[in-house]
């Protein structure tokens, strides 16, 4: 599983019949992200967690 799989911007496209990133990443940002050594979601400024319960998880017993 890649970090893109856990991103809120990574969605299924019915027309293309594949997953696509909805983030508006330009060519320069993409090149910079691929050159850095950190995890993908740490270097992608558009990554957003798709974990709906992350905000309230700390309230669990």
**What is the extent of the structural domain holding 13?**
3-49
pLDDT of residue 15: 95
Enter the pTM of the model: 0.59
For 3, 5, 18, 28, 35, the CA distances from 8, given in Å and listed in that order, are: 11, 8, 15, 22, 23
Residue 16 lies in a domain: yes
Tens of pLDDT, residue by residue, the chain (61 residues)? 467 888 888 899 999 999 998 988 888 887 887 777 655 556 678 888 877 776 676 676 5
Q: How many domains does the chain have?
A: 1
Residue 28 lies in a domain: yes
């Amino acid at each position: 599983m890649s970090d893109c799989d856990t991103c809120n911007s990574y969605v299924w496209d019915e027309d293309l019949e594949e997953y696509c990133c909805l983030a508006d990443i330009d060519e320069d940002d993409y090149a910079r992200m691929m050159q850095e050594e950190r995890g993908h979601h740490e270097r992608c400024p558009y990554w957003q967690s798709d974990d709906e319960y992350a905000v309230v998880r700390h309230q669990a017993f």
